[in-house]
Structure 1
Amino acid sequence: MSKSEPSLRAVSDQAYDDIALPFAIEALDVRGRLVRLGPAIDEILTRHAYPPAIARLVGEAAALTALLGAALKSEGRLQLQTRSDGIVDMIVVDFDAPDRLRAFARFDEAKLVAAMPGAELLGRGHLALTIEQGSDVARYQGVVALEGQGLEEAAHQYFRQSEQIPTFVRLAVAESLTGAATNWRAGGLLLQFLPASIERQRRADLAPGDVPEGAIVPEILEDDAWAEAKALAATVEDHELVDPSLSSERLLYRLFHERGVTVFAPQSLRAACRCSDERIATMLRNFTQQERDDMVGDNGKIGVTCEFCSTYREFDPADFKESDA
């Protein structure tokens, strides 16, 4: 789950935002991470001024990406992307190790207005997780079908199908009013069952596949340690994952004190975009001259807005004119 065994951390009553906190429940052979997002997710969501329902979904996607991305090496990159026929037809979240997070969503405003309250925003399509861990490691992509389920269940399906590691995921997003402003918060909890014996990882929900009629299919019993870990984790409430006054250590103690939980050094997280003047200028040079001419606005400039951070930049078309030579 991590690139090296992190150093132990003393229990703290101080609540910190924008961190991923690794932990272990040795008695149950479980490793995990707890993510708490405050200013970082608030910056990402308020820059786009999403409607509340869309903001909550993007917040969940960002929390899930942070949970997974925090395990990468310092040069790694993880991208979560959904494509579907739902109200939200695309979400993209990037995590650039060790700490940078950015996200955006594309949605149909007319469909959102017409939808019933609480309607499912993700339709039928797919969720893809793409992992890059440096030039010496092959790029990996796992894909799961979206059939109306939420991101939590899609994450569970991903781990069942792609990683084949028993995994539990919980996500929560909340908005709070501070004065006249709305502040967004998000949290996530991830547990993975990693016993020394692979045989113990066999799960009761594995499909037996096609078998001859009348054949006896042996019953697959879920490991008691993993069943207990999931039961304890399932008691977590949404408000606990996003409570700014509850420290991550105290939350983990609430959940797992009966078995003992060890926490390690936290990893800081922040909202940060990859875009820059140089990157966009390079992108513009890859277009043909005619395409760039078509981009020129009424003010005589080429205007470009970053989908992730909403930063608007203007460029002089003369800087990209092709030489006659």
Structure 2
Amino acid sequence: MAIGSKIAWDDTVLPFQLDRSGIRGRVARLDGVLDQVLAQHNYPPAIEALVAEAALLTALIGQTIKLRWKLSLQVRGNGPARLIATDYYGPQAEGEPARIRAYASFDADRISGTPDPFGLIGEGYFAVMLDQGQGMLPYQGFTPIAGGSIAACAGAYFAQSEQLPTRFQLSFGKSAVPGQAASWRAGGVMLQHMPQTGGVAASGGSGEGGLLTHADILSGEPAEDWNRANLLLDTVEELEMIGPLVAPTDLLVRLFHEESPRVFDAQPVRFGCSCSEEKVRSTLSIYSRKDIAHMTTAEGIVTADCQFCGAHYEMDPVSLGFEGGDAG
């Protein structure tokens, strides 16, 4: 089967549990979804790589949220890659796909042919936001940028904010076969230890910048189980995560057969944006007459573009409640 072929596991997240180790996890494949996310923009290769990594992480993390909830990841830095933002929308009903979208804000003049896309972020923070719907306060958690990848930042977040040792092993990139256009393929495995009873020492962690690591949270048999599972995950090969020849179920048996892996229902994932003219109008309603005047074209039309999907909206200022005249 060709690397560019479509298979049943594309654009899915498969949750699993290692019964022997008390560890849960997910296997994700994003292929067509990632192509659609990145096709909305014309990013330099280094920015594409950062967006691809963040989107794959979002799919892995987002699989646990409830119906109609929204999970957002943001990576903000003081480098040329100023912002990587992703959203994961939980299914509207059981059996329906989740939706994912992503975009980046960057300084094109400062982007060069760097071999290290993560270095373009600089200093900043990694944020997780959870919107549980109307009437509920959104949750926000932050950790400093740490490690050598966005995946490492996500692992540091779960250790620091949730006291849950978490590991991500990811692979992503463009692949092509003769006679076909290059397309994105991405795959990854997430491991997360079950919550532990008891507290964590408040004196600071052993990780970068004093952040917590698994060694600060686990000890004894749970630590041995975690280390063993991670050693097994270290043996995973890139093509096992992104290639079409190994199904996620077979991969789990290959990696963790002695840990008694148990799989649950897979979650399909699709590209999807929540923008609409109604939401754009609601957003513009907070602006002053002067602001709206600055947004109005010479033809007398207010325009707005969605940063995630590129949708273009045009509206009459009068329909927004602003008639012509003095903009002051």
- CA distance 1:321–1:199, change in 2 (3 Å): closer
State the distance in 2 between where 1:311 and 1:36 align.
Answer: 26
1:186 counterpart letter in structure 2: A
Report which stretch shifted further, 94-103 or 128-137.
Answer: 128-137
SS of match in other structure, 1:56: helix
Q: Indicate if the aligned counterparts of 1:34 and 1:248 stay in contact, CA closer than 8 A.
A: yes
Once residues 201 and 41 of structure 1 are traced to their aligned partners in structure 2, the CA distance between those partners, rounded to angstroms, is: 38
Q: CA offset at residue 147 of structure 1?
A: 4.6
Q: Give the corresponding residue for 2:130.
A: 131
- 1:33 and 2:16 are equivalent in the alignment: no
Pairwise CA distance, 1:291:
1.7
- Structure 2 match to 1:82: 75
Mind listing any 5+ residue stretches in structure 2 that lack a counterpart?
1-6, 92-97, 208-217
Structure 1 pair 181–313 and aligned structure 2 pair: CA distance change class (3 A): farther
Residue aligning to 2:211? none
Question: Aligned pair 1:95/2:58, yes or no?
Answer: no
Q: What is the count of residue pairs matched by the alignment? A: 297
Q: Which amino acid aligns with 1:193?
A: H
Distance in 2 between residues matched to 1:192 and 1:267, nearest whole Å: 18
Task: Letter of the 1:103 partner, please give it.
Answer: A
Q: Name the residue aligned to 1:267.
A: 267
Task: Compute the displacement of 1:148 (Å).
Answer: 6.3
Q: How far apart in 2 are the matches of 1:226 and 1:148?
A: 20
**Structural mapping, 1:202-217, within 5 Å:** 206-207=205-206
Output the amino acid matched with 2:59: A
Question: How far off is 1:244 after superposition?
Answer: 3.2
State how far apart, in whole Å, the 2-side matches of 1:170 and 1:201 are.
26
C-alpha distance in 1 between matches for 2:194 and 2:200? 7
Return the letter of the residue paired with 2:80. I
Residue 244 (structure 2) aligns with:
244
Q: Are 2:71 and 2:89, in contact at CA under 8 Å, matched by a contact in 1?
A: yes
Q: Could you tell me how far 1:46 is from its partner in structure 2?
A: 1.4
Supply the distance in 1 between the matched residues of 2:256 and 2:200 (Cα, whole angstroms): 20
1:121 is displaced (CA, Å) by 2.1
Structure 2 residue 115 is the aligned partner of structure 1 residue 117: yes
Task: Report matched runs for 1:278-297 at 5 Å.
Answer: 278-297=278-297
User: How far apart, in 2, do the equivalents of 1:200 and 1:247 lie?
Assistant: 39
Q: Distance in 1 between matches of 2:147 and 2:254?
A: 32
> Match for 1:67: what amino acid?
L
Map of 1:166-245 to 2, 5 A cutoff?
166-177=165-176, 179=179, 181-194=181-194, 198=197, 206-207=205-206, 223-245=223-245
Q: SS where residue 258 of structure 2 aligns?
A: coil
In 1, the alpha carbon distance for the partners of 2:135 and 2:287 equals 31
Kindly report which structure 2 residues correspond to 1:56-71, keeping only aligned pairs within 5 A, or say none: 56-71=49-64
Give the superposition deviation at 1:97. 0.9
What TM-score results when the alignment is normalised by the length of structure 2? 0.82
Contact conserved, 1:174 with 1:242, CA < 8 A, in 2?
no
Amino acid at match of 1:36: R
Task: Name the stretch that deviates more: 282-291 or 125-134.
Answer: 282-291
Amino acid at match of 1:72: I
Q: Deviations over 1:226-256 (max 9, x none)?
A: 1111111122233322213432112212211
The one-letter amino acid paired with 1:243 is G
Contact 2:34 2:184 in 1 (8 A): yes
TM-score by length of 1: 0.83
Deviations 1:121-177 (A, max 9, x none): 221011111122345654322111115631121112111111101211122211123
Q: Is 1:316–2:309 an aligned residue pair?
A: no
Paired residue for 2:161?
A: 162
Measure, in 2, the Cα distance between the counterparts of 1:318 and 1:223: 64
Kindly indicate whether the alpha-carbon contact (under 8 Å) linking 2:146 and 2:153 is maintained by their aligned counterparts in 1. no
Residues 190-237 of structure 1, C-alpha deviations (whole Å, 9 max, x = no match): 111227x636999xx9549xxxxxxxxxx9556221111111112223
Q: Secondary structure at the match of 2:273?
A: coil
Secondary structure of the residue that 2:151 maps to in structure 1? helix
Q: Given that residues 72 and 129 in structure 2 are in contact (C-alpha distance below 8 angstroms), is that contact kept between their aligned partners in structure 1?
A: yes
Instruction: Give percent identity, aligned residues only.
Output: 36
